[in-house]
Structures are given as C-alpha cells and as structure tokens.
C-alpha cells in the first residue's frame, strides 16, 4: 500500500503516515471502494457529498488572493484603483473596469497573476470565516506615512494574526513628504510602531515585508506587486484546475441586474467553471448562461483564484455562501431539496429550544413578580432587567455585499440600555411593503448606495424616516446617534 501511495504522489508515505479524510476518499477510489462518512449530515455540509476528493496529482499553482486592509482614508481604494488601471489586462481593454468584487492584475516583472478582493466591508469574508473558510491568502496592511497606526490599523493587525493570513505592510502616501530626509524619518517612525505592535518586520529579522509606496504617483507600486508574488511563491499556493474536478467556489456578491436577471460574482476555489455548468449555492440553482470578467468581457472558462460574474441563477444566491457544481439538473434539485429539508428540521429544533428558553425566562419574571411588591417602580425595574430596549431598522442596499456589511456593522451596536435590531435587510429601493413593515415595527429605513430613491418613498404619508447613505461609517454614526436619542434622559 505504501508503494501504491508513493505512486499516487504521496512521496513521504511511510508506516506512520497520517491520512486526511480527503486522502482516504481518494485512496478508496483507487481501489474501487465507495467512501461513506459516519459524520452527521447537516444543512451546512450536505453538498460536501457532491465534491471531488482532493487529488494531489492534479494540483497546479494558482494566483494568490489578496485583501487590502487598514484605517479609513489611509488609501485602500486608491491602491485598488491604481492596480486596476495599471493592469496590463485593463490597459489593453481601454481601462474601463466594472466592480464585481474582485479583479486580477499581472505583476509587472514576474508577469504572474494576482487576485485582489474589493468587496465593500468584506462582510462576505466574515461570513465565510465563521464557517471556517479563509479565502484570503495574503493581507496587505496599508498605513499612511502621515497618520501612522490608527484604531482600524490595530483591528486589521488583530484580524491578520487571528486568521493566520500572511501579511505585507504598505506604508503609503509617501509623496506627501517630498523632503527625502523627513520622509525616511516618518517611515522609520511607522515601522517602529508596527514593531511595537508585534509585527515581525524583516529589519528585525522577521519575515514581514514592507514597501513604501504612493498610489497617487505610482512610486514603488511594482515593488508591492512583486512582494506579493514572492510571498505567494514561498506559500506554494496550489489548486486543482482539472476540468473533470467538481468545481467549488464562493459567492462574493449577488444582485438583480436589469435585462440579465440574477447575477453573482463567484470566486473559483477548485476546478474550472464553464459555460453550461450546473451550479448550486444555498437554495439557488444556476445553469451558467454567461460568465463575465471584471472588464465586462465574456469568458468561457474560469480557473482557481479567478472571480467571474455568473449569469443564469434561478434565484439570487447569498454573498458568503459556497458554490458547488452538480452533474445534472436532477441531482442539483435533489440536493437542494435535501438541504431545505435539513434546514427545516434544524429550524424546528431551534424553535423548540427558543420556546424552552422563553418559557424559562417568563417563569423567572413571574417569580420575581410574585416576590416583589408590585409598585410601579419595581415593575419598571423588572422590565429593564429583562434586557435592553430594541431600536428597529430596515436595511436596503445596492448589492448583497454591502447589505451584509451594513448588517454586520450595526447589528451589535448598543449598550445594556438600548440596542439596534435589524427587522429585515434586502437589495433594492424600499418598497410599499418595507414601509408597511417599518410602520408596524417603528423602524427607520436605512438606504445604502441606492442612487435616487423616489420622492413618494422619502416623503411617505406615514412619516417613516427613510435615510440615504453612500459611506458606511456615516451610516454607522447615524445609527449610533439614533440609539443615543433613545437613551433615557438622566436627571
Ligand atoms: P480608504 O478609505 O482607505 O479607501 O482611502 P482612500 O483611497 O479613499 O484615500 C483617502 C484619501 O487619501 C483620498 O483623498 C486619496 O486621494 C488620498 N490618497 C490615497 N493614497 C494616496 C497617496 O499615495 N498619495 C496621496 N498624496 N494621496 C493619497
């Protein structure tokens, strides 16, 4: 068996070699045995049965997937814009690119591809991480040379450490300090603060590279790209690209587009996606009608680390959900039905648990009521003890990526007196139904990036507050203010 394993590509196989589940599946396949897992099947893993086992023979190098993080205004968008425009691919195309949540560029010297993710708020990634999937390989931490480390820089550092992603630091806006001596001094200060925050920079013997860039003038941007490539070479990133491998991917964004219908940007993880393939994601099935890259051009295939906008979804899939290929429409339908059945069962058991919890809480309140003499004051005290007051919101956004980002950012806001509660969230202009829902629940409607919301919605007869935002942090500020307004006055 060890000899067989070596032939299969397990060069280090020995008598005490420990095999992963995927390897066991692969080996069984070679001996013509079926694999049956005894692990519990739930709605979150039911599609795993469709996946191909990992086959090391088919592994090929793939481009690194990079996320840019850092404090607001330190220059993340400017870097992404520069890379998008300077990319050879987009220059040939005339420089017009569309936002699909990710794009690829060719590093200028090595001519290797890099995938950059630019989904707003990166909420889809939070959701993927919650499920134990980490789709980013490398984080570029952006720090402005003028402002140095700020609160969100520290958050990004924390995130990088927790996620186990590799890190590259880009100290940016260096053109803002034209005097080279003062520039070097400021850079040194930023680097020292990074070291003080336990970032192991190369200059102290660590392995974190630092580049000093200006996304405005383009200075050293090629160095940034090549640093990413050299790091990814060390990481030895690989995936199966084989056309027979069952495709897997992640939904980065989804939206309904005029004329074409439901579209979703899918980042390919494994296999090669093709026109005509059948895909499943959550409850949505898709027969791939067309695939478009970030330049809006049709492509017939998409390989690992590539993101494409896929047309042909019967319903809108959710950002952050996994995508899996099914061999035929009947298999796809069978699995979606199987998953729906499991979801229903799981929801029923959650409801039972919740009811038990509620019953327990109610009996606690009842016994408190009995124990205490019920003067009005005591009654109020009991109410506050049962939890903070909810302030209700309905979220409407341009694309599901930003919808997710907003929900994630505001759903935990508040303190032990008031907290925000999201009644519903969806993509598109507020409808009559949203207004009705807002009226019943006393919600404020928060619109994000929706362009012109019709006047009859804004000035609705029920005087429901419909607020419009284009910047996430302004929206968060406003929600915080609304929460503050709902605090009881202190006399
Ligand atoms: P983000 O919030 O991190 O995405 O930051 P932006 O990319 O929106 O940049 C914030 C501001 O800094 C904008 O006014 C940019 O034009 C400016 N900026 C970003 N990078 C540079 C740079 O390298 N040099 C200069 N001079 N300005 C920059």
> What is the value of ipTM here, to two decimals?
0.99
Pocket test for ligand 1, best of 68, 73, 178, 211 (most atoms within 8 A of CB): 73
Mean of the pLDDT values across residues 86-115?
Answer: 76
DSSP, res 317: P
Ligand 1 centroid from CA 241, angstroms:
37
User: Pseudo-torsion of CA 26, 30, 34, 38, nearest 10°?
Assistant: -30
Residue 15, token pair as written in the block: 């008598």
76 CA from centroid of ligand 1 (Å): 7
Distance 75 CA to ligand 1 centre (A): 4
Query: How many whole angstroms separate alpha carbon 304 and alpha carbon 326?
Result: 18
Hey, whose CA ends up nearest to atom 11 of ligand 1?
Answer: 73
296 alpha carbon – ligand 1 mean position (Å)? 26
Going by alpha carbons, the residue nearest to atom 27 of ligand 1 is 173
Name the pairing type of β-strands 248-257 and 261-270.
Answer: antiparallel
Atom number of ligand 1 nearest to Cα 78? 7
What does the block give as tokens for 182? 């003062």
* Beta strand 65-70 pairing with 138-144: parallel
Q: How far is CA 304 from CA 64, 160, 247, 271, 399, in A?
A: 10, 23, 9, 7, 24
The residue with tokens 């909420």 is 123
Atom of ligand 1 nearest to the CA of 172: 23
**Residue 60 burial by CB count (10 A; 0-12/13-18/19+): exposed, middle or buried?**
exposed
Q: Atom 7, ligand 1: which residue's CA is nearest?
A: 75
Q: Which residue has the tokens 């759903």?
A: 411
Which tokens go with 467? Answer: 């607020």
Residues with CB under 6 A from ligand 1: 70, 72-78, 172-173, 175-176, 214-216
Q: Whose CA is nearest to atom 10 of ligand 1?
A: 73
pLDDT digits (tens, 9 = 90+) for 297-339: 899 999 999 999 999 999 999 888 899 999 999 999 999 999 9
Q: Whose CA is nearest to atom 22 of ligand 1?
A: 173
Q: What is the pLDDT of residues 133-192, one digit of tens each?
A: 678 899 999 999 999 999 889 988 988 888 778 999 999 999 999 999 999 999 999 999
In order of 72, 143, 156, 395, 410, the CA distances from 476 in angstroms are 14, 23, 19, 12, 7
Q: Report the alpha-carbon distance of residue 102 to residue 269 in Å, rounded.
A: 14
Q: Are 303 and 294 in contact (CB under 8 A)?
A: no
Q: What sign results for the dihedral spanned by CA atoms 97, 399, 435, 407? A: negative
Q: How far is CA 102 from CA 168, 227, 232, 251, 339, in A?
A: 19, 20, 18, 11, 29
Q: Which helix (H) or strand (E) holds 254?
A: strand 248-257
Cα–Cα distance list, 245 to 217, 293, 442, 481, 487 (Å): 44, 22, 51, 51, 56
**pTM tops 0.80:** no
Which ligand 1 atom is nearest residue 72's CA? 2
- Which three-class secondary structure state does DSSP give residue 119? coil
Using the mean position of ligand 1's atoms as its centre, give its distance from the Cα of residue 73 in Å: 6
Ligand 1: distance of its center to the CA of 225 in Å?
18
Q: Please write the tens of the pLDDT for every residue from 42-85.
A: 888 889 889 988 888 889 999 999 999 999 899 998 999 899 88
């Amino acid at each position: 068996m060890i000899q067989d394993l070596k032939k299969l590509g397990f060069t280090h196989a020995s008598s005490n070699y420990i095999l992963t589940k995927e390897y066991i599946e692969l080996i069984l396949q070679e001996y013509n045995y079926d694999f049956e897992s005894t692990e519990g099947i739930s709605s979150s893993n039911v599609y795993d049965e469709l996946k191909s086992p990992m086959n090391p023979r088919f592994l090929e190098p793939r481009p690194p997937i990079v996320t840019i993080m850092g404090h607001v205004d330190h220059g993340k968008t400017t870097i992404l814009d520069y890379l998008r425009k300077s990319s050879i691919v987009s220059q040939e195309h005339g420089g017009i690119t569309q936002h699909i949540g990710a794009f690829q560029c060719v590093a200028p010297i090595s001519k290797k591809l890099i995938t950059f993710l630019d989904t707003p708020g990166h909420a889809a990634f939070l959701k993927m991480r919650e499920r134990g999937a980490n789709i980013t390989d490398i984080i570029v931490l952006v720090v402005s040379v003028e402002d140095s480390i700020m609160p969100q820089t520290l958050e990004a550092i924390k995130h990088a450490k927790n996620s186990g992603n590799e890190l590259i630091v880009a100290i940016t806006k260096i053109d803002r300090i034209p005097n080279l001596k003062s520039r070097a001094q400021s850079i040194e200060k930023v680097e020292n603060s990074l070291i003080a925050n336990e970032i192991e920079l190369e200059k102290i013997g660590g392995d974190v590279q630092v580049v000093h860039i200006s996304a405005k003038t383009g200075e050293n941007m090629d160095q940034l790209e090549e640093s990413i490539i050299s790091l990814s070479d060390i990481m030895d990133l690989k995936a199966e690209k084989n056309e027979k491998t069952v495709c897997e991917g992640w939904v980065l964004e989804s939206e309904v587009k005029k004329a074409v219908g439901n579209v979703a940007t899918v980042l390919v993880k494994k296999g090669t996606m093709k026109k005509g393939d059948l895909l499943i994601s959550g409850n949505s099935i898709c027969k791939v009608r067309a695939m478009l890259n970030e330049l809006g051009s049709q492509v017939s295939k998409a390989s690992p680390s590539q993101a494409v906008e896929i047309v042909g979804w019967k319903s809108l899939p959710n950002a952050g959900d996994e995508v899996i290929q099914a061999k035929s429409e009947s298999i796809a339908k069978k699995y979606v039905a199987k998953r729906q059945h499991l979801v229903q069962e799981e929801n029923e058991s959650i409801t039972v648990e919740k009811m038990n919890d509620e019953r327990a809480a109610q009996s606690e309140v009842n016994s408190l009521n009995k124990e205490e003499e019920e003067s009005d004051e005591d009654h109020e005290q009991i109410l506050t003890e049962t939890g903070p007051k909810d302030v209700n919101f309905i979220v409407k956004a341009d694309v599901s990526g930003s919808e997710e980002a907003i929900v994630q950012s505001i759903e935990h806001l508040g303190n032990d007196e008031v907290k925000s509660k999201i009644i519903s969230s969806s993509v598109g202009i507020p409808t009559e139904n949203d207004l009705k829902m807002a009226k019943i629940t006393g919600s404020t409607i928060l619109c994000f990036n929706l362009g012109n919301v019709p006047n009859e919605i804004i000035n609705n007869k029920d005087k429901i507050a419909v607020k419009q935002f284009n910047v996430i942090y302004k929206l968060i500020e406003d929600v915080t203010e609304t929460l503050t307004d709902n605090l009881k006055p202190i006399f």
